[in-house]
Amino acid sequence: METCLLGYEHAATVIEIAAWANDLIGKEVPGYPAYRVVKVIQFQILPGQSGYDAMILVDVVEKPVESDHVAIRKEDIMEIEELTSSIPEPPLGETTLGE
């Protein structure tokens, strides 16, 4: 797990900042699409001229690389083989598909 420092500027209220920070959890890190926010660790709110700014420290993890392959456990393979072995084979010359 890694950490990332994020900023939020010109919020009208601290509730706006809190909603933004809470909404980050489980989502892509802004500006870093390869990472996902796990939790907010710490934050600091700074009053500004037209509202509030915030610095938020978050824990992030790297997203797994997407793949077209599906991992099948040995137990799953054994179950599939057991289920499909009970299906009778069609007689020679016949098919199970509509022609």
**pLDDT tens string 1-13:** 899 999 999 999 9
> What pLDDT is recorded for position 75?
87
What are the contacts of 13-22 at 24+ separation with CB within 8 A? Answer: 13/51, 13/52, 14/45, 14/52, 16/52, 17/43, 17/45, 17/52, 17/54, 21/54, 21/56
Query: Comparing 24-33, 46-55, 81-90, which segment has the lowest mean pLDDT?
Result: 81-90
Chain centroid offset of residue 26 CA: 6
pLDDT level of residue 18 (50, 70, 90 thresholds): very high
Q: What is the mean pLDDT of the chain?
A: 88
Residue-wise pLDDT tens digits, 46-77 = 998 889 999 999 999 998 877 666 778 888 88
Any idea where the domains of the chain sit in the sequence?
2-62
